[in-house]
Amino acid sequence: MVVRGREPADVAGCVAALRAVHDADRYPTAWPADPAAWLDPPGTTAAWVAELDGTVVGHVCVAPAPDAAVAARTGVPAERLVAVKRLFTTPAARGRGVGAALVGVAAARAGDGVWLDVVDGEPAVAFYERLGWRRVGTRPADWVALDGGRRTVHLYVAPVR
């Protein structure tokens, strides 16, 4: 497996990988109208892909994400906070350390103040805790699910390096 910076030529492979993830796991919950644009949330500063045998099997990006609650619980100034976003690995690549490698690279290269949120009850909760991410809070999501309800999300910060 190779983890490297995402290049423009990788976008088609990322979209194909995202389709496999969506079909298997419903992530993202609703298929985006423009999946290539979805890979780059506003403010994206860096993105990485994981490849196995020349095929994109995972993706992650980071973007500045000031958050008062995370800042208060970590002591990191809100303007220095960076969020991990759009992390996914294809079903065929799971169990090979792809997700851990991607989130590890993102956390290491993004600097201090790396955080993310995870929907309560999702397998990702156990994944991040196994990697040493520390839960610093729980709150209602700032988005509405397809069923009209609000989910609960847990806030995590990257392990101290």
- Which candidate, 157, 87, 75, places its Cα nearest to that of 115? 157
The pLDDT, as a whole number, for residue 146 is: 79
The pLDDT, as a whole number, for residue 145 is: 82
- Give yes or no for a contact between 151 and 141, defined as CB atoms under 8 angstroms apart: yes
| The two three-digit tokens of residue 151, written as one number | 């989910």
The pLDDT, as a whole number, for residue 149 is: 86
Global pTM value: 0.93
Within its chain, how far is the Cα of 46 from the centroid? 12
Mean pLDDT over each residue of the chain, to the nearest integer:
95
- CA torsion, points 81, 41, 107, 20, in degrees to nearest 10? 150
Return contacts of 25-32, CB within 8 angstroms, 24+ apart.
25/91, 27/88, 29/145, 29/146, 30/146
Q: What angle is formed at CA 25 by the lines to CA 65 and CA 67, rounded to 5 degrees?
A: 10
Q: What is the DSSP letter of 132?
A: T
Give the model confidence (pLDDT) of 75-93 as tens digits.
999 999 999 999 999 999 9
